[in-house]
Structure 1
Amino acid sequence: MSSGPYPTPGLSGALINAPERQLFASRDLAQTRALVAQVMKPHDLHVHGGSQQLNSRMHHMAFGGVSLNRLKYGADVDIEPGSLDDFYLIQMPLAGHAHIASGGQQVESDPDVASVISPTESTVMRWSADCDQLMVRIDRQLVERAVGARTGRGEPEAVRFQLAFPWRDSAPWRCLLFYLNDCANHPFDAVQYRLMVAQIEQLVVSTLVAAQPHNLGDVKPARCTAVLPRHVRRVQDYLREHASEPVNADQLALIAGVSLRSLYAGFRDYCGVSPLQYLRNLRLDGARQTLLNEPDSNIANVAMRWGFGHLGRFSIEYKQRFGESPSQSVRRG
């Protein structure tokens, strides 16, 4: 694979093709440090070599506890954030290179090798003047809750990832970046479409956990007795009451009091579908009631309101479940 600048078609313009996502452009060191800190955390930032001047810019798009960012300093810089504390940071140079030392690990990061910085590890970095990084920031609690659910552990545990991440070898991660960038290039109201935001959070976390080795990757799910019907009913009741709210599988495993694997096995045995498909059916039912009761509603808005971001797929699933298209339901309403 090429390690030259912007070797992945479609990502060279990530975020920068959406001017409304630009947070700032600055040549001032103190201003740059303060504005980056608003998205990340307070840190030390120094230009390496007195003859250089910053020419920085940053773009940003938030999806709840996840954000897509792009940052370039335009000069050789030393960055000392210490430990990130409450978030994970995946940094992917689209051009240039960076040296990252985090915990006991080091990596020379370039357009083929990203860095995954864990929140408990003290970190220092040096970025080259031409380093242009696409970055995904993830709230710590999202990752620890997801890994805890997969291992059947109720209490969050610190998850430490391998620092070096050959991200171009991971097709799911690359597809995720294209999806996030596509969302950022269109008007997106995170408050209005909170169900979609919750799904994006879960997608980002599950893709990272599956793609990148970490210290809890070999921990087997906690042993438990066979899932009893009451555990399934407990989750069913919760889903019926909260179908219009953000829900993820990790959260459901905690509610059920079993590992994620056991929860899925229970739903497969007793319901014939996964917990999330059960939830998806409830949301289809909710969308149908909305279309029937509010015939003047816009179908796309109703689909988004109930967490369906792809209108074509929504229409297919709707017709499969109800035997008619959403527009036919509107006409009958």
Structure 2
Amino acid sequence: MQNLSHSLSLAPLYRHRVFQSSRKVDCHAQVANELSEHDLFWKGDDVDTVLFKAAIQQLQIFMLKYGAEVVVRPRLFDGFALVHMTLSGTAEIEADGQKVCIPQGKTALIAPKRNLRLWWQAGSEQLILKVPLALFDELSAQGQAVHPGIPSLFMLPERAVPHWDLLVQSLLRVLALPGEHEGHSAWINHFERGAAQFLLSQLTSTYTAPPTAAGLAANESAENLVGAGKLQRLDMLEKYIKTRLCAPLSLADLANAAGVSVRALNGLCHQHHGVAPMDLLRNIRLDAVRERLLTHPGANITDTAFEFGFGHLGRFSAYYRERFGELPKQTRVAAR
């Protein structure tokens, strides 16, 4: 198995293989039995599915690879949320109208209320943590964590990923314990609750519910916001964009994320960035592409462009040259 991101050692999990198969029917049935009922659409014949699963106490942890490119449409989850970590390749998740791209090294929390669709790149590997919603409720009831409500789809902020990886690695190490031992149960419970508390803390500090119509009306013009208020709205906008770099976003989506009207957002972006909101979105995505090419000179330019939301390669190259004065391939060559 590959382990190209998250700096995780999955050896303890690899001792718990559920199945490995190249038959599509077997793969569908086995995964449905272990995770959730779902419709599965294969987009290739290079099937090499492998599933590992281990139960801790309240949590279950999986590593799943299909081999071929797939689209998965699960039924609504019954009493649990999934934490989806891309170990290699790229995944795209759409839940209740929200869409995010989860490239290698990124993590998302999924708890759909109406519908869910997942696309996995051929050969991608995903680590999945199954968390009972009752655990979140329990922590909240005991006052050990604030429960802001679990959103349909939440991208873990980049700054939080290293800390989350440490928690997951601790859970994985639990699987390597030699057997039942006095005191193990309480110790394991501590790590499980710590992981759930951490997720709730990130939701509390990062997730912003969509603004109400009354809130938008109160912010009809940029002039109604002063000083730190303007900077706070722009910060909300940039955080929203950076967690959805490959998702299709509209001007209305950006305004909702900032908690202002479209007109107010246009004024804020021109005042502080000198460009319109959609141009700001494009620039942030271009900056992300450049950073990837500079830090990973071997990255494929086409794949990187798609990963960060550019569907038309000709326009992407033109935008890139306009912003940085060189073509993407020149950046990559200079970084080597």
Query: How does the TM-score come out when normalised to structure 2?
Result: 0.54
Q: Given that residues 63 and 200 in structure 1 are in contact (C-alpha distance below 8 angstroms), is that contact kept between their aligned partners in structure 2?
A: no
Q: Which residue, 157, 162, 172 being the options, matches 1:181? A: 172
Q: Which runs of 4+ in 1 moved over 6 A?
A: none
Question: Aligned letter for 2:85?
Answer: M
Given residue 160 of structure 1, which amino acid in structure 2 is its aligned partner?
P
Asked whether the 8 Å contact 2:41–2:71 carries over to 1, the reply is yes
Tell me by how many angstroms 1:21 deviates: 1.2
1:131–1:192 Cα change, 3 Å: same
**SS of alignment partner, residue 198 of structure 1:** helix
Q: Is 1:29 the counterpart of 2:24 in the alignment?
A: yes
Q: CA deviation at 1:90?
A: 0.8
Please, which of 38, 57, 65 is the counterpart of residue 50 of structure 2?
Answer: 57
CA contact (8 A) 1:161 1:215 kept: no
Structure 1: runs of 5+ lacking an equivalent: 217-333
Give, in angstroms, the shift of residue 106 of structure 1. 0.7
Q: Which runs of 5+ in 2 are unaligned?
A: 210-336
The structural deviation recorded for 1:44 is: 1.1
Computed over aligned residues only, the root mean square deviation of the Cα atoms, in angstroms, reads: 3.0
**Is it true that 1:82 corresponds to 2:75 in the alignment?**
yes
Aligned counterpart for 2:39 among listed residues 35, 44, 63: 44
Q: Is the 8 A contact 2:154 2:207 kept in 1?
A: no
The question of whether the paired residues in 2 share the 8 Å contact of 1:59 and 1:69 is answered with yes
Q: Secondary structure at the match of 2:74?
A: strand
Are residue 91 (structure 1) and residue 91 (structure 2) matched?
no
SS of 1:44's partner is strand
Aligned partner of 2:10 in structure 1 is 14
Kept in 2: contact 1:144–1:157 (CA 8 A): no
**CA deviation string 1:295-323 (max 9, x = no partner):** xxxxxxxxxxxxxxxxxxxxxxxxxxxxx
Could you say which residue in structure 1 is the equivalent of 2:121? 128
Corresponding residue number in structure 2 for 1:201: 192
Total equivalences in the alignment: 206
> SS at 1:163's partner residue?
strand
Residue 8 to residue 168, structure 1, CA distance change in 2 (3 Å): farther
Cα gap change, 1:177 to 1:53, in 2 (>3 Å): same
Residue 111 of structure 1 is matched in structure 2 by 104
Identity %: 21
Paired residue secondary structure (1:46): strand
How far apart are 1:151 and its partner, in Å? 9.0
How much does 1:121 deviate?
4.5
The AA in structure 2 aligned to 1:98 is A
Q: How does 1:158-237 map to 2 (within 5 A)?
A: 159-160=150-151, 162-166=153-157, 169-189=160-180, 193-212=184-203, 213-214=206-207
Whether the 8 Å CA contact 1:144–1:159 is kept in 2: the answer is: no
Q: Aligned in 2, Cα 1:33/1:157: closer, same or farther, shift over 3 Å?
A: farther
Instruction: Give, as a single letter, the amino acid of the residue that structure 1 aligns with 2:98.
Output: Q
* Mapped partners of 2:20, 2:184: distance in 1: 29
